[in-house]
Amino acid sequence: MMEKLLKNKIKTRELTRNEKFLLGILGILLILLGGYRYIITPQTKTIETLKAQRLDYESKIEENNDFIRREESIQEEWNRLNKEKETLYTKYFSTLNQSEIIYLLNDIIPNQEVFTEDLSFSRPVYEEMEDFQIKNMDISLPYKGEYTGIIEIIRALKNSPQKLSLESVSIDMDSDGSLNGNMAIKVYSLDGIDGNISKPLFTDDVERKNLNEDNEDISMIPFFENKVENENRDGQDYTKSTVKPYIEETLLDFETKNIYLIPSQKLVQGNVSISKKAKSKKYALRLEYNILAVEEENRVYVDVSKNNVILKYPPNTLGIWVYAYDYSPATIGMLFRGQMGEEIYIPFTEGIGWTGWRYLEAPPHEDLKIYPLTLEKLYVEIPSGREDYGVLIMDQLEAVYTRNIDEKGNDISGEQYMFHVVEQGDTIEKISVKYYQSNRYKNEILKLNDLNEGEIISIGRILVLKKR
């Protein structure tokens, strides 16, 4: 059977002339279509792109030609704006330098008619003005003197070469007829706006400005025993202490990721990480949150309890740097826990109404009975019925305490110390290693606690240790 099949030939026939012609036409069409698709079409797109670029370049050339034609008017406008800028810079302080401010006030207060006993500076804060964060500081100036002297001070503040804003004046009369009261002054700085290039204050500037309406020079004397290290007009040499009136204690600097995220309910999501966009040192806390506020509590918590932050007594203020990328209804705050387990919420701000870095302050709980307090969490909260998401950068959580300064302006604050309750097995070497990671401080511990080398310390004894 197989042999028969092999012997059978497949019957074929030759293509006719018309069929060959049609196949040839089909082949030519395929070649033309392929050429159009893979050659002509890409070239056409390239030509269109080049034409668009040509139009763009022609437009830029026209703009450049227009600038060149307007070069003279642009130069005149630049000169005018530059003069306005220089004039503006001379009216404000480049930085809130207390030495410079005190030096200026020394020269505008009449010594014979007004007596000033004290001068206090507030902590610098940022005030939002249009699209800028303007740094400013409040000054409290108590005074006692005659009416004419007070008027001269007000006039001198108004004519000051660098702007001093007189916010309010309180006046009382003593039984002897003399006047006393307080002046609230606000000082604005261009710190961070002008690149710190504003002109410094010179004594001659004050002298030219500080004339009364009769063009008579007002007699000036310093009102502090601590003066700027410069020779004043009267030839006397003054020195000024540079000690700050407050102590800043850093509670958290976020240099290590010893933090955890805790949502208050299942529709609260977020993430915490370490960011290199820091305000101080190398790192800061980056908090991402996405909150659908449908429950009674709608917070994303950052657990910082493992950092062992304890407030033994209330500071003046608590502060933190926060970088916001956008506005938000979110509340930023802290959660402390007392010794009896009570929770104490302290908000920094209710709503985010700025972008960029801003220093936030919050007053601590003032009831001394609940101290010491342990910082457990930072939190971001969204009001009920709202939905919001975003990213915040936080850095340098700190407590601010008043420095102990005597009437002469000298710092008499003692060094900072902490306590250790001796436990079973404790030795001076072990305690030194526990707190300082080295045993080279054992002699210091012995001296602070009136102990002798080799003396046995009883369990329960309280030792004084120096903070580092």
* Mean residue pLDDT across the chain: 78
**More reliable by pLDDT, 189 or 459:** 459
Q: How far apart are CA 48 and CA 40, in angstroms?
A: 12
* Topology adopted by domain 98-242: Alpha-Beta Plaits (3.30.70)
82-86, 260-264, 442-446: range with lowest mean pLDDT: 82-86
- Write the CA distances from 355 to 325, 382, 391, integer angstroms: 5, 18, 11
On the question of pLDDT at 66 being above 60, the answer is: yes
On the question of pLDDT at 392 being above 80, the answer is: yes
28-42, 86-100, 385-399: range with lowest mean pLDDT: 86-100
* Topology adopted by domain 248-402: Jelly Rolls (2.60.120)
Residues 6+ apart with CB under 8 A from 94: 189, 190, 191, 194, 196, 197, 198, 199, 200
Q: Per CATH, the architecture of 417-466 is what? A: Roll (3.10)
Compute the average pLDDT of residues 267-296: 90
Q: How far apart are CA 18 and CA 1, in angstroms?
A: 40
Do the bridges between strand 125-129 and strand 132-145 make them parallel or antiparallel, or are there none, so unpaired?
Answer: antiparallel
**What SS3 class is residue 47?**
helix
Confidence band (pLDDT; 50, 70, 90) for 96? confident
Q: What percent of the chain has pLDDT over 70?
A: 78
pLDDT in tens, 145-182: 777 777 877 887 777 767 777 888 888 877 777 788 88
pLDDT in tens, 113-130: 677 767 788 887 777 766
Give this prediction's pTM: 0.45
Kindly report the CA angle at 15 between 14 and 20, in degrees rounded to 5?
A: 150
Compute the average pLDDT of residues 194-208: 42
Confidence band (pLDDT; 50, 70, 90) for 405? low
